[in-house]
């Protein structure tokens, strides 16, 4: 859990791409800490789901880095532990933000082949961030029509926000304050996905990349 008064780290302590130098306030969660926590999540997932075949569903675009790194750790555990998780993968894209505000409209892009999930034992859905929870609840309702036997959700971030509908994923990387963060594939109008660390965007950055 990251506290509300967490100030983050000075940018000059890290390697930040020059094209983002004026667009960020602080490094909020360094890349190394993200990877360390992700490895721990892999162990928790292995403990709970080891021995079951799962369909790993990546929610694009923001979830792709978390998805790739977490699966790499699970694959390492598959090679080096007594338990293993056979996996197949699929992808779906959701879009609900413009600038730093939710549009209130959730667009589901892709997922045309989700009918192949019908009756599968277990699904693990990878999400970058749970904000209000409305997007995730909409996706779960869509997935229900394919009758998977069980669905679990792993999210890198969960925001503490009064706008929350009360949804909580099964596996959480970090619980964070209600601040708009970018990096590690989280974007602001498609920018900052190429940033390793999770950072706080500056007002200059918001204006520069405003849609």
Domains along the chain with CATH numbers: 33-178 (3.40.50.2020)
User: Can you tell me the distance from the alpha carbon of 203 to that of 23, in angstroms, rounded to the nearest whole number?
Assistant: 8
pLDDT on residue 114:
65
Annotated catalytic, 12?
Answer: no
pLDDT on residue 97:
55
SS (H, E, C) the chain: CCCCCCCCECHHHCCCCHHHCCCEEEEEECHHHHHHHHHHHHHHHHHHHCCCCEEEEEEECCCHHHHHHHHHHHHHHHHHCCCCCCEEEEEEEEEEEECCEEEEEEEEEECCCHHHHCCCCEEEEEEEEECCCHHHHHHHHHHHCCCCCCEEEEEEEEECCCCCCCCCCCEEEEEECCCCEEECCECECCECCCCCCEEEECHHHHHHCCC
pLDDT on residue 69:
96
Residue among 23, 69, 128, 131 flagged as catalytic: 131
Taking the chain (211 residues) in runs of 10, the rounded mean pLDDT of each run is 93 95 96 97 90 86 93 94 86 68 61 62 76 86 82 93 91 94 95 96 94 84
pLDDT on residue 145:
82
pLDDT on residue 118:
67
pLDDT on residue 53:
84
């Amino acid at each position: 859990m990251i506290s509300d008064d967490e100030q983050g780290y000075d940018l000059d302590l890290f390697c930040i791409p020059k094209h983002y130098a004026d667009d960020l306030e602080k490094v909020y969660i360094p890349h190394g800490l993200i990877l360390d926590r992700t490895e721990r999540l892999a162990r928790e997932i292995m403990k709970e789901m080891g021995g079951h075949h799962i369909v790993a569903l990546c929610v694009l675009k923001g979830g792709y880095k978390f998805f790739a790194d977490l699966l790499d750790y699970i694959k390492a555990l598959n090679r080096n532990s007594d338990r293993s998780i056979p996996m197949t993968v699929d992808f779906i894209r959701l879009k609900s933000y413009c600038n730093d505000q939710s549009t209130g409209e959730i667009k589901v892009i892709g997922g045309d082949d989700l009918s192949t999930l019908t009756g599968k034992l277990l699904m693990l859905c990878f999400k970058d961030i749970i904000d209000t929870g409305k997007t995730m609840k909409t996706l779960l309702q869509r997935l229900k029509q394919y009758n998977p036997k069980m669905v679990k959700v792993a999210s890198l971030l969960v925001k503490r926000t009064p706008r929350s509908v009360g949804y909580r994923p099964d596996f959480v990387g970090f619980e964070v304050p209600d601040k708009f963060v970018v990096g590690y594939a989280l974007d602001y109008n498609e920018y900052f996905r190429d940033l390793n660390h999770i950072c706080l965007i500056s007002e200059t950055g918001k204006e520069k990349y405003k849609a």
